[in-house]
Structure 1
Amino acid sequence: MTLKKKLAMGVATGALALSMIGGGTYAYFNDVETSTNQFAAGTLDLTLNPETIINVDNIKPGDWMNRTFKLENTGSLDISKIFLTTSYTESVAGFGEHIVVDFLKNEDKGSIAGPSNVIVSKTLAELASMTPDAVKNLSPTFFGWQGGEASGIKAGTKDNMYVKFRFNENNLDQNAYQGASLELKWMFDAQQTAGQSR
């Protein structure tokens, strides 16, 4: 056999040996564990009861209307804030400046130290530029103690609200508002609490 053939045969034999090593089967110990995990998001669900807070007709200057309603957290997550947004449509321009919310109280947030007034004597026109938090405890703190419930609404609980509307009597000519109508929309925007380590 010539040197070239011997070299070629040697290279071929080496390649065959390498392919057998690479493609060979080896026995070894093995253990596999599988982790099955789950993420489930909670729900933020605010219920207004009743949905229509006021529906009144034939009002005149000087009339007032007291109403109650509930803000209920029917979701699985706590609510930290509920922003109140006011909008309205009026049949006669300026009528919203004569309808006053004397107060909107959150009776669950009040205390001996003072009530929790979400709104104090604002016309609907003034309220249209505000977004107060309807579930904030505004009572003062004394030595670390604050009367009433903490701000927000915990899951499965509710806050009782008390509101007084008034057709303002300004002792001026208000004849322009005879037969006027106004549709008020209050939007209650519930916000979640801050994220936390879980």
Structure 2
Amino acid sequence: MNIKNKLITSFVAAVLGICLITGGTSAYFSDTASTNNTITTGSLNLGLNKEAIFQVEAFVPGETQETQFKLTNEGSMDMKDITLTTSYEIVDKGEPNNGDNMGEYLVVELLSNQELIFEKTLAELNGNPQQIAKEFPAGSTAKQFMIRITFKDNGENQNHFQTDQLKLNWEFEAVQL
């Protein structure tokens, strides 16, 4: 073996020895920490204090009925843009209405805190959502509303509406603030 090979072998042996000595004798400190996390989503829960806001019997032209209801924010999140969507179906039980829409004669006024929110016929409200509140913070007091419905008397014969029934569906919807 020549000198060059002996030097390389000696150098490799020395490096290997240093690695074994250093690797076998080194020590270090370590520590770990862990967490258990939970993410829970908030909830929107719009409450209504009545199952049916109106149950009117024997309603006649010229008459007005009114009632009150409350909406509550029973969820954990603030609400905004509470809307009322109206749909209805007329059950013609008497004389044919011949295209005369009873919804055009029923005028709805919605008030909150004595302030008029809207005054429209059911025909105008049908499929046309109306904003009834802009903000409704979680944990706030109930919002009180008054609804007044008037059967408009057009001064003409309205006998074709006798015994008819209007099935009214109101849907209240709130979105997250």
> Could you tell me the TM-score, scaled by structure 1's length?
0.70
Give the residue type in structure 2 aligned to 1:68.
Q
Aligned pair 1:181/2:165, yes or no?
yes
After superposition, the C-alpha distances for 1:37-63 in whole angstroms (9 at most, x for unaligned) are 332222111111112000112111111
Mapping for residues 1-198 of structure 1, pairs under 5 Å: 26-92=26-92, 93=99, 94-101=101-108, 103-107=109-113, 115-120=114-119, 122-136=120-134, 151-193=135-177
Contact 2:68 2:147 in 1 (8 A): yes
| 1-structure distance, mates of 2:53, 2:25 | 79
Q: Which runs of 5+ in 1 are unaligned?
A: 108-114, 137-150, 194-198
| 2-structure distance, mates of 1:191, 1:66 | 28
Contact 1:70 1:161 in 2 (8 A): yes
Of all paired residues, the percent bearing the same amino acid is 36
- 1:167 Cα deviation from its structure 2 partner: 1.2
| 1-structure distance, mates of 2:25, 2:39 | 41
Give the residue type in structure 2 aligned to 1:82.
I
Q: Which runs of 5+ in 2 are unaligned?
A: 93-98
Contact 1:74 1:157 in 2 (8 A): no
SS in 1 for 2:123: helix
| 2-structure distance, mates of 1:25, 1:177 | 101
| 1-structure distance, mates of 2:61, 2:25 | 97
SS in 2 for 1:126: helix
| 1-structure distance, mates of 2:136, 2:75 | 13
- 1:117 Cα deviation from its structure 2 partner: 1.8
> Could you tell me the TM-score, scaled by structure 2's length?
0.78
Give the residue type in structure 2 aligned to 1:41.
T
Give the residue type in structure 2 aligned to 1:159.
K
RMSD over equivalenced CA pairs, Å:
2.9
Aligned residues: 170
| 2-structure distance, mates of 1:191, 1:123 | 26
| 2-structure distance, mates of 1:98, 1:41 | 45
